């Protein structure tokens, strides 16, 4: 190709089109001029390269490539694009692809193309590959767990194709039950595993399970066995279509869950009629269930008014009380007779006593039992009236000691009792105790020191 001589302006425009970074150097590779065609390369600090050797601007592994390109001096036979990495001011690497051409007058021209977009694609490709490998490894672990569970189950379990009703897999329990030591069970029609008078029942069971999508059960006689077995079928879908999980259990084993279900129903009814209010929450304090007495305590007419809300929204001291309760329950310690107040739907406050326990199954949850203290105090009013006035002995000190001393000692006693109660409720968590008492942590330590309830060394670090 024959090209006319280009003036410097046209040649500069041509370089700006074909390259993102252009370097003019002497034969030793010292940079004399720099031109960038992209603003994104400005962060590389290319203009500061003038007067520096080209080889000093690249990373250590790219230095040998720079030496080879300078050694070729733009000879067409050895001229090719080379990938090198520059270090930016931020410490990251910027990939540039260079080719060196002779410029005349002993000068060299290095034209570079920004490979950042290609490098980003390569990074994403590597990340995708790593993600696929992680997913593949996770699937292998899941398959291994499934296989161990499938083969070690004491129940006879069959995997059946919904379209052909042929057995796809059978665990060790099913092979032993059906006396299939040669493992010829796979590929057979599942109805052949049952006596002739039960095959129609099994056929109807599979149709019903496929139609409803629920677990369906029936009674059928397994081939070669005299007694009837309970057969359950569950449908699920995979890429090949619908499949059945068929379980065969004895009638005694199948009836056991019914007793458990009856016990659960009785327990559920007992909790619903419990004379004190109770609330079930998750570990973050979101209410999941409440009984009738709990709704009456909070002035509610329907459980939807409280379900889904945070428990601390109904506690008068809010996050303070919830922090104390959650700290104990998170350590799986029961809470007993925690005195606080709740805010009813109408805005009234009600003194209550809270007990709570941690439930680990079927998922971690908290159960709170809430007792109305007003009702309890009213019931014990007559007993309280018959008791001796606890402050009656203070009246005996009148005339013997100044009222200022009597009041001062009484206040100190009450303060000490309140601090001891707060520390006991918070399991000696002094930050929570100070918040509960409405004191700063510094003030609480001052009072603890005054009453001799804290070591001297502890207060010196405050």
Cis peptide before 30 (omega within 30 of 0): no
Task: Report the pLDDT averaged over residues 223-237.
Answer: 85
Cβ(86)–Cβ(96) under 8 Å? yes
**pLDDT of residue 254 exceeding 80:** no
Q: Which span out of 172-176, 209-213, 365-369, 392-396 was modeled with the highest average pLDDT?
A: 365-369
Which uninterrupted H or E stretch holds 23?
A: strand 21-25
How confident is the prediction for the chain on average, in pLDDT?
80
Residue 382: the pLDDT is: 47
Confidence of residue 102 (pLDDT cuts 50, 70, 90): confident
List strand residue ranges (DSSP E) for 178-318, in order. 216-221, 228-238, 241-249, 277-282, 287-290
- Residues 271-324 pLDDT 10s: 777 888 888 998 889 998 888 888 888 888 888 888 889 998 899 888 888 888
Cβ(49)–Cβ(31) under 8 Å? yes
Cβ(332)–Cβ(316) under 8 Å? no
Residue 36: the pLDDT is: 80
Which of 127-136, 310-319, 385-394 has the weakest average pLDDT? 385-394
Task: Report the pLDDT averaged over residues 66-71.
Answer: 86
Confidence of residue 122 (pLDDT cuts 50, 70, 90): confident
Residue 386: the pLDDT is: 43
**pLDDT of residue 383 exceeding 60:** no
Q: Which span out of 16-20, 154-158, 401-405 was modeled with the highest average pLDDT?
A: 154-158
**pLDDT of residue 11 exceeding 70:** no
Report the candidate in 281, 158, 319, 163 with the shortest Cα–Cα distance to residue 229: 158
Which of 240-254, 433-447, 448-462 has the weakest average pLDDT? 448-462
**pLDDT of residue 461 exceeding 80:** no
- 3 state DSSP class of 348: coil
What are the residues whose beta carbons fall under 8 Å from the beta carbon of 307, sequence distance 6 or more? 287, 288, 289, 290
All domains of the chain in start order, with CATH? 18-114 (3.30.450.20), 153-256 (3.30.450.20), 273-379 (3.30.450.20), 396-460 (1.10.10.60)
Distances (CA, A) of 430 to 70, 234, 265, 448: 72, 55, 43, 10
Sign of CA dihedral 38, 44, 47, 51: negative
Task: Report the pLDDT averaged over residues 85-101.
Answer: 83
Task: Report the pLDDT averaged over residues 356-365.
Answer: 82
Q: Which residue has the higher pLDDT, 263 or 439?
A: 439
Residue 77: the pLDDT is: 62
Tokens encoding 30:
């010292």
Residue 296: the pLDDT is: 87
Degrees to nearest 5, angle at CA 53 with 49 and 57: 60
């Amino acid at each position: 190709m024959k090209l006319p001589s280009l003036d410097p302006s046209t040649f500069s425009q041509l370089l700006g089109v074909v390259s993102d970074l252009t370097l003019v150097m002497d034969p030793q590779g010292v940079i004399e001029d720099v031109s960038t065609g992209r603003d994104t390369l400005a962060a590389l600090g290319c203009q500061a390269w003038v007067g520096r050797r080209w080889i000093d601007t690249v990373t250590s592994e790219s230095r040998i490539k720079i030496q080879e390109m300078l050694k070729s001096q733009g000879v067409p036979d050895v001229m090719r694009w080379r990938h090198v990495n520059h270090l930016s001011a931020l410490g990251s690497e910027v990939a540039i692809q260079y080719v060196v051409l002779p410029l005349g007058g002993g000068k060299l021209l290095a034209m570079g193309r920004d490979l950042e977009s290609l490098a980003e694609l390569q990074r994403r490709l590597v990340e995708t590959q790593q993600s696929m490998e992680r997913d593949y490894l996770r699937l292998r672990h899941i398959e291994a767990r499934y296989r161990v569970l499938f083969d070690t189950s004491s129940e006879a379990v069959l995997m059946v194709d919904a379209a052909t009703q042929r057995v796809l897999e059978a665990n060790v329990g099913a092979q032993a039950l059906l006396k299939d030591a040669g493992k010829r069970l796979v590929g057979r029609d599942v109805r052949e595993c049952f006596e002739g008078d039960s095959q129609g029942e099994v056929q109807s069971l599979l149709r019903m399970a496929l139609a409803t999508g629920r677990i369906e059960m029936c009674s059928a006689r397994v081939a070669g066995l005299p007694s009837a077995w309970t057969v359950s079928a569950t449908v699920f879908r995979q890429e090949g279509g619908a499949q059945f999980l068929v379980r065969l259990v004895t009638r005694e084993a199948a009836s056991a869950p019914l007793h458990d279900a009856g016990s659960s129903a009785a327990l559920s009814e007992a909790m619903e009629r419990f004379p004190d209010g109770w609330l079930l929450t998750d570990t973050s304090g979101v209410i999941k269930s409440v009984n009738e007495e709990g709704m009456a305590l909070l002035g509610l007419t329907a459980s939807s008014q409280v379900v889904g809300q945070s428990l601390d929204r109904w506690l008068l001291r809010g996050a303070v009380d919830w922090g104390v309760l959650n700290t104990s329950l998170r350590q799986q310690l029961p809470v007993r007779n925690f005195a606080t107040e709740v805010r009813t739907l109408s805005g009234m406050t009600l003194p209550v006593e809270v007990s709570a326990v941690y439930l680990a199954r079927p998922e971690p949850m908290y159960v709170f039992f809430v007792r109305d203290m007003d009702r309890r105090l009213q019931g014990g009013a007559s007993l309280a009236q018959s008791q001796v006035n606890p402050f009656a002995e203070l009246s005996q000190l009148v005339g013997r000691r100044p009222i200022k001393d009597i009041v001062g000692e009484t206040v100190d006693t009450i303060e000490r009792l309140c601090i001891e109660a707060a520390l006991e409720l918070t399991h000696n968590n002094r930050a929570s105790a100070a918040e509960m008492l409405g004191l700063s942590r510094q003030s609480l330590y001052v009072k603890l020191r005054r009453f001799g309830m804290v070591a001297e060394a502890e207060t010196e670090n405050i």
